[in-house]
């Protein structure tokens, strides 16, 4: 295993760090895996499930180490285009992802479907003996997380969640090292600002494209009609295509948690990691706040089913033992604010700032500070590429990757609880040891969701 870069000079000369500042301080080629994957038979045979926009970015960066041998997508237009672009048309193409799990020659699976499919595919992939890189958010519910964690423990499979901010050294990992080194003192408050979500007007029912298997796209979610509108009025303003399908699924509770899990999976994860590194390992005691939805809700369910329904605006506060608070909001600079007794820092994809960052010029972090928070795993330039390198390295060494399912679910539980609070409009009390909402049966029932007949998880 190669050793982490010596960061002393870097952190000793930089105050506020901005995107791109890392360039000269990281090697320009991946180190950790470059040597490990020289031989053809050292490469990973990868099966891709869901060939949409993020898969494009992910397979692009993982290419030095993987051979894309099979693609599953329920939209044949997408799998064909992906195959041509990333595998010279040579990958096997399927509509049903289970054909990939049947193959003994596939080492790793990348899951990049919409969120409502993640749990079923990840669990079945682990049971089929595959290691998995699954996009965030790992689940649609808290109970799905319990299942994934259990199966991961039982099977010992390596599962990386696609929260690549955990592999961003100049900003997020450095921020975590500042916390871990005690430079902020005891953390009192963390704030994840994740932006709001769009609303829509009524989106008309439409005939699904011939190449799209709409029933299979819906999978475990309720059977509903396909909706689609290409609105020329929106050119240059926002997404021109409104639908309950590709990309736009994010704004429907049936398939996603809205912004709370779309971006919450990233920034609440960083906020939660900071608390953990600060020795505050207990989960929340309660969460409450307020949210605005584009439609009315009754008993936690949207009344109108023809338009986006996830929260557009929100402000939640989770209370932790010892008086620590975590705030999740839409309305201020996107990023994570970490406030401790000795100082505060702000970290986002664009910058890391605050007096404790400026102080590194005179008092740099110890050489091993970043390596320590990164579990002493090899580091790479570029967070998305590094996140893949981290995963594939762990597949070889059987170590736990940096975005393991256990830490991810700790953060994602908060996002899901915020979603339940939003939908019911009341504060929730949480028993972290039992992973149950206390004193609220209706809320507790929302820890799980029904799976549509024919699309239940296949446990063996
Ligand atoms: N890590 C990040 O920064 C990041 C960024 C964007 C998206 N994501 C995540 O990636 C996932 C995909 O998002 P996207 O924007 O690429 O969505 P998308 O709609 O562009 O792509 C999803 C693809 O999955 C396919 N699909 C649906 N059901 C399937 C099934 N049962 N089997 C095989 N294929 C199936 C769809 O047809 C589509 O081609 C989401 O969970 C999202 O949260 C992560």
Tell me: the pLDDT tens digits for 304-329? 999 999 999 999 999 999 999 999 99
- More confident of the two residues 23 and 389: 389
Query: Residue 41: is its pLDDT beyond 70?
Result: no
Confidence class for position 381, pLDDT limits 50, 70, 90: confident
Q: Which residues pair with 291 in a beta bridge?
A: 314
Question: Under DSSP, is residue 180 helix (H, G, I), strand (E, B) or coil?
Answer: helix
Cα 50 from Cα 114, distance rounded (Å): 8
- In ligand 1, the atom with minimum distance to the C-alpha of 247 is 19
What sign results for the dihedral spanned by CA atoms 362, 183, 346, 402? positive
**Average of per-residue pLDDT across 60-89:** 97
Q: Which residues pair with 325 in a beta bridge?
A: 189, 319
For the segment 263-286, what is each residue's pLDDT rounded down to a tens digit? 999 999 999 999 999 999 999 999
- In ligand 1, the atom with minimum distance to the C-alpha of 217 is 28
Cα 193 from Cα 329, distance rounded (Å): 5
CA 214 to ligand 1 centroid distance, Å? 15
- In ligand 1, the atom with minimum distance to the C-alpha of 162 is 1
Instruction: Provide the 8-state DSSP code for 132.
Output: E
CA 419 to ligand 1 centroid distance, Å? 21
Of the given ranges (41-50, 63-72, 93-102, 133-142), which has the lowest mean pLDDT? Answer: 41-50
**Average of per-residue pLDDT across 227-240:** 78
Which of 329, 321, 314, 315 lies closest to 284, judged by CA? 321
What sign results for the dihedral spanned by CA atoms 115, 394, 166, 267? positive
Relative orientation angle of helices 142-155 and 405-424, to the nearest 10 degrees: 170
- More confident of the two residues 22 and 432: 432
How much is the pLDDT for 4?
A: 31
Query: Residue 65: is its pLDDT beyond 70?
Result: yes
- More confident of the two residues 115 and 241: 115
How many C-beta atoms surround the C-beta of residue 1 within 10 A? 13
How much is the pLDDT for 231?
A: 80
Host H or E run for residue 313: strand 313-319
CA 208 to ligand 1 centroid distance, Å? 18
Q: What residue spans of 278-401 are helical by DSSP H?
A: 355-358, 369-373, 383-397
Task: Answer for the pair 363, 177: CB distance below 8 angstroms, yes or no.
Answer: no
Q: Is the CB of 113 under 6 A from ligand 1?
A: yes
For the segment 397-451, what is each residue's pLDDT rounded down to a tens digit? 999 999 999 999 999 999 999 999 999 999 999 999 999 999 999 999 999 999 9
**Alpha-carbon torsion angle 23, 27, 31, 35, nearest 10:** 140
Q: Is the CB of 47 under 6 A from ligand 1?
A: no
Of the given ranges (29-43, 235-249, 418-432, 440-454), which has the lowest mean pLDDT? Answer: 29-43
Task: Answer for the pair 412, 404: CB distance below 8 angstroms, yes or no.
Answer: no
CA 116 to ligand 1 centroid distance, Å? 10
Query: Residue 95: is its pLDDT beyond 80?
Result: yes
How much is the pLDDT for 42?
A: 81
Q: What residue spans of 291-351 are helical by DSSP H?
A: none
- More confident of the two residues 24 and 249: 249
Percent of the chain as helix, strand, coil, to the nearest 5 = 35, 20, 45
Q: Please indicate, yes or no, whether the overall pTM of this predicted structure exceeds 0.85.
A: yes
High-pLDDT (> 70) share of the chain, %: 90
Which residue among 76, 113, 244, 452 has the greatest number of ligand 1 atoms within 8 angstroms of its CB, and so is best to mutate?
113
Residue nearest to atom 36 of ligand 1 (CA): 50
**Average of per-residue pLDDT across 349-354:** 97
How much is the pLDDT for 18?
A: 34
Q: Is the CB of 314 under 6 A from ligand 1?
A: no
Cα 143 from Cα 287, distance rounded (Å): 18
How much is the pLDDT for 241?
A: 87
Which residue among 97, 135, 269 has the greatest number of ligand 1 atoms within 8 angstroms of its CB, and so is best to mutate?
135
The CA angle 322-323-329, to the nearest 5 degrees, is 135
How much is the pLDDT for 149?
A: 98
How much is the pLDDT for 238?
A: 63
How much is the pLDDT for 37?
A: 52
Cα 156 from Cα 138, distance rounded (Å): 17
Q: Is the CB of 78 under 6 A from ligand 1?
A: yes
């Amino acid at each position: 295993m190669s050793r982490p870069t010596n960061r002393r000079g870097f952190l000793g000369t930089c105050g506020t760090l901005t995107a791109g500042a890392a360039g000269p301080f990281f090697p320009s080629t991946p180190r950790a895996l470059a040597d490990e994957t020289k031989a053809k038979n050292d490469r990973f045979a990868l099966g891709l499930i869901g060939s949409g926009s993020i898969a494009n970015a992910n397979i692009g960066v993982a290419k030095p180490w993987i051979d894309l041998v099979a693609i599953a997508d329920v939209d044949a237009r997408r799998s064909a285009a992906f195959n041509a672009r990333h595998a010279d048309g040579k990958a096997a193409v399927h509509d049903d992802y289970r054909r990939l799990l049947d193959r003994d020659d596939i080492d790793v699976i990348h899951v990049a479907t919409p969120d409502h499919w993640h749990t079923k595919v990840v669990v079945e992939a682990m049971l089929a003996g595959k290691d998995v890189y699954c996009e965030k958010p790992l689940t649609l519910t808290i109970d799905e997380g319990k299942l994934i964690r259990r199966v991961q423990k039982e099977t010992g499979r390596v599962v990386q969640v696609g929260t690549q901010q955990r592999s961003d050294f100049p900003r997020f990992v450095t921020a975590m090292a500042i916390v871990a080194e005690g430079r902020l003192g005891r953390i009192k408050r963390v704030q994840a600002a994740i932006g709001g979500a769009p609303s829509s007007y009524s989106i008309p029912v439409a005939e699904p494209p011939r190449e799209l298997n709409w029933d299979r796209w819906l999978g475990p979610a309720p059977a509903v009609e396909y909706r689609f509108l290409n609105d020329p009025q929106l050119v240059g303003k926002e997404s021109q295509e409104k639908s309950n399908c590709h990309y736009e699924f994010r704004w429907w509770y049936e398939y996603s948690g809205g912004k709370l899990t779309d971006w919450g999976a990233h920034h609440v994860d960083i906020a939660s990691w900071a608390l953990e590194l600060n020795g505050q390992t207990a989960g929340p005691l309660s969460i409450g706040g307020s949210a605005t939805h584009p439609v009315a809700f009754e008993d936690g369910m949207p009344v109108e089913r023809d338009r986006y329904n996830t929260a557009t605006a929100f402000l939640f506060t989770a209370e932790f033992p010892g008086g620590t608070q975590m705030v999740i909001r839409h309305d201020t600079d996107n990023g994570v604010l970490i406030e401790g007794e000795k100082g505060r820092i702000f970290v986002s994809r664009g910058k890391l700032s605050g007096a404790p960052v400026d102080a590194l010029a005179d008092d740099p972090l110890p050489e091993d500070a970043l390596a320590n928070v990164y579990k002493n795993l090899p580091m790479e330039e570029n967070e998305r590429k590094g996140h893949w390198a981290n995963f594939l390295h762990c597949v070889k060494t059987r170590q736990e990757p940096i975005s393991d399912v256990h830490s991810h679910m700790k953060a994602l539980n908060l996002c899901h609880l915020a979603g339940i609070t939003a939908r019911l409009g009341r504060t929730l009390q949480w028993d972290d040891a039992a992973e149950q909402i206390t004193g609220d049966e209706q809320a507790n029932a929302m820890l799980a969701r029904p799976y549509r007949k024919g699309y239940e998880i296949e446990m063996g």
